[in-house]
Amino acid sequence: MDAFKEQEYDKRFDISLWKKLLQFCKPYKNKLVILGLFMIGLAGVDVIFPLMSKYAVDHFIIPQSTDGILIFGIIYFLLIAVQAVNIFFFIDIAGKIEMYLTYDIRKKGFQHLQELSFNYYDKTPVGWLMARMTSDSQRLGSFISWGIVDMVWGFSYMILISIAMLFLNWKLALITLTVVPVLVVLSMYFQKKILKVYRKVRKTNSKITGSFNEGIAGAKTTKTLVREEENLKEFQVDTSVMYRSSVKAAIFSSLYLPAVLTLGSIGTGLALWFGGEGVIMQAITYGTLVAFISYTVQFFEPLRELARVFAEFQSAQASAERIFSMIDEKPQIQDHSEVVKEFGDILQSKEENWPEIKGDISFDDVTFGYKDGEKVLENFNLDIKAGETIALVGETGSGKSTVVNLACRFYEPNSGKIKIDGVDYRRRSMLWLQSNLGYVLQTPHLFSGTIKENIAYGRLDATGEEITRAAKLVNAHKFIMKLKKGYDSEVGEGGARLSTGEKQLISFARAILANPKIFVLDEATSSVDTETEQLIQQAIHKVLENRTSFIIAHRLSTIRSADRILVVRNGKITEQGNHHQLLKEKGYYYRLYTNQFMEEQEAMLLNA
């Protein structure tokens, strides 16, 4: 978490950002315009009601007559009906726009996440990505749709009320509207204050979400290390900052409304004072005064909504900024445009142009580091023939996984070349290489779903029979059949309902089914019992047949039978050869082997 610094988003208004958002709104342009029109209509009808009151006072109440009251009643009823229809439609349209926009933003984000390279995931916490995909997308969708609702309605309502007042009696209108400039100044002052505290609230909130994420993901570790109390303390510091800022924000918000209401009362007072005089001097009708009073009261009504929109504006902008920082991130590893032209990309692969892969791999003078300036591999050279099984051994952090990551093109060399079948792999499409690749990790990842689905993940069009055959080949069939629902058993999130060994067997079945030309096994044999290990051992043998493979294992039994064993130290190959050759060299491998061999013998004796 530490390495990842949350960017500060403090711009007041960022036009370029909203322009980008406009792209998302484009498909719903018509809907948005219609929504705006409905809101203007709603405000328009709202403004008519005080005029109706005026008419009622001047024509029915004061003269104490009922002439034409029926038509008046009908018109009144119709207005209410129109308003009801307006409300139905605007809620319907705004709700839909909110859904569509959120959906589109999430889809775009998810699609982009599929394309981003490993290095992006190295530096970006999962919690951060989750927040972008969930709450931020949601916030943007709802801000745009409901923000338009409130803004268009609020402004058109205030403007229409002003017009109606000027139309009724411009002198009285000008007198009552003198409070507006004061209102503007007051609003600006409070908005500035409120935005400032809200910004702090948001920043703290994102920190707290981070702690949540770490706290929950690391709950087991926390418990085993008895770190609960410290974690709680750290958490309390953040939450109390959050608490204080939130209270401050609430105080400012709660001061603002009464201030606005007071102004409203002053406006109403002015209307009564001058209007009352006008009525007495018979310059103004009673009804006009009544209409004026309701206008001054209503004039301030939209402010609450507008204030909310302004408060949300900043956080919506921050959401947009974060989402775009993700969407605009260029994948570090990308196919050249010429390569895409010839071999296609993820969205449209031109498989017919793909050359058959044999499986020769060579590293030519490869230098690589994960971070600038750091070199994990330096002038690394290695030639592997198709079908060869290469085992990598060496201390932790020596660069074994790095060699494999480069071969799979999860990362690319900083200098030098990696060739597959004699051609720089950057001149072929990524998809071409990766569809010919099988990768089994130490803790293989299974997806929520059934065992069958997880095996078929390697080749979606596989038949049930093929799936069973693959499972049998790697000795997974037996344990699967012991499960209640067999192949249809759910594996749980990340395969949590299976043991590590079982997960590995499933991922071997997956690899066999996909039938890759190049196969990678990263430390797959550690941490399982001897019986499972034997099953896995046999599975590995099956998987390795006719493929170029990399095996990284700490257990020597796994690597003994490899065609070639490489000892990697500080990113360099220090010894290579087969098991017997390396034993004769009496180097690192010899020591490693004799140590482990002795340990294994001891263990066997103890067991016996």
Ligand X SMILES: Nc1ncnc2c1ncn2[C@@H]1O[C@H](COP(=O)(O)OP(=O)(O)OP(=O)(O)O)[C@@H](O)[C@H]1O
- Cβ–Cβ < 8 Å for 54, 290: yes
Which of 399, 501 has the CB closer to Mg ion? Answer: 399
- Cβ–Cβ < 8 Å for 345, 429: yes
The stretch near ligand X (CB under 6 A) out of 254-262, 397-405, 468-476, 536-544 is 397-405
Q: Which two tokens stand for residue 494?
A: 């990340």
Nearest distance from C-beta of residue 306 to ligand X, angstroms: 48
Neighbours of 491 (CB within 10 A): 21
x/- contact string, 110-139, with ligand X (CB under 6 A)? ------------x-----------------
The stretch near ligand X (CB under 6 A) out of 66-74, 389-397, 455-463, 542-550 is 389-397
As a whole number of angstroms, the distance between CA 429 and CA 448 comes to: 30
Which of 322, 400 has the CB closer to Mg ion? Answer: 400
x/- contact string, 540-579, with ligand X (CB under 6 A)? ----------------------------------------
Which of 268, 402 has the CB closer to ligand X? Answer: 402
Residue 367 bridge partners (DSSP): 415
x/- contact string, 322-351, with ligand X (CB under 6 A)? ------------------------------
Which of 105, 406 has the CB closer to ligand X? Answer: 406
As a whole number of angstroms, the distance between CA 557 and CA 525 comes to: 9
> Could you say which residues in the range 283-312 bind ligand X, by CB under 6 A?
none
Q: How much is the CA Rg of the chain, to the nearest whole Å?
A: 35
* End-to-end CA gap in the chain: 47
Which of 300, 439 has the CB closer to ligand X? Answer: 439
The DSSP-derived string for 77-133 is HHHHHHHHHHHHHHHHHHHHHHHHHHHHHHHHHHHHHHHS-HHHHHHS-HHHHHHII
Q: Is 400 in the site for ligand X (CB under 6 A)?
A: yes
Which of 369, 449 has the CB closer to ligand X? Answer: 369
Which of 286, 370 has the CB closer to ligand X? Answer: 370
Q: Is 397 in the site for ligand X (CB under 6 A)?
A: yes
Q: Is 285 in the site for Mg ion (CB under 5 A)?
A: no
Nearest distance from C-beta of residue 376 to Mg ion, angstroms: 11
Give the H or E element holding residue 171. helix 170-176
Answer for which of 401, 468, 507, 558 binds Mg ion (CB under 5 A) is 401
Q: Which two tokens stand for residue 566?
A: 């490489």
Which of 437, 455 has the CB closer to ligand X? Answer: 437
Residue 415 bridge partners (DSSP): 367
Q: Is 405 in the site for Mg ion (CB under 5 A)?
A: no
Neighbours of 479 (CB within 10 A): 18
Q: Pick from 362, 367, 364: which is nearest to 415 by CA?
A: 367
Which of 401, 548 has the CB closer to Mg ion? Answer: 401
- Cβ–Cβ < 8 Å for 549, 519: yes
Coil, strand, or helix at residue 274? helix
Neighbours of 124 (CB within 10 A): 18
Q: Is 376 in the site for ligand X (CB under 6 A)?
A: yes
Number of residues that bind ligand X (CB under 6 A): 12
Q: Pick from 568, 572, 571: which is nearest to 592 by CA?
A: 568
Which of 3, 71 has the CB closer to ligand X? Answer: 3
Give the H or E element holding residue 227. none
95 binds, among Mg ion, ligand X, none (CB under 5 to 8 A by kind): none
The stretch near ligand X (CB under 6 A) out of 164-172, 184-192, 245-253, 398-406 is 398-406
As a whole number of angstroms, the distance between CA 109 and CA 99 comes to: 15
x/- contact string, 222-261, with Mg ion (CB under 5 A)? ----------------------------------------
Counted residue by residue, the chain has a size of: 608
Which of 10, 395 has the CB closer to ligand X? Answer: 395
Q: Is 402 in the site for ligand X (CB under 6 A)?
A: yes
Nearest distance from C-beta of residue 553 to Mg ion, angstroms: 10
142 binds, among ligand X, Mg ion, none (CB under 5 to 8 A by kind): none
As a whole number of angstroms, the distance between CA 562 and CA 437 comes to: 19
The stretch near ligand X (CB under 6 A) out of 178-186, 267-275, 283-291, 400-408 is 400-408
* Dihedral sign (CA 56, 58, 63, 69): negative
The DSSP-derived string for 368-410 is E-SSTT--SEEEEEEEE-TT-EEEEE-STTSSHHHHHHHHTTS
Crossing angle, helix 301-327 and helix 179-217, to 10 degrees? Answer: 40
Which residues contact ligand X by CB under 6 A? Answer: 122, 370-371, 376, 394, 396-402
Question: Which parts of this chain interact with Mg ion (CB under 5 A)?
Answer: 401
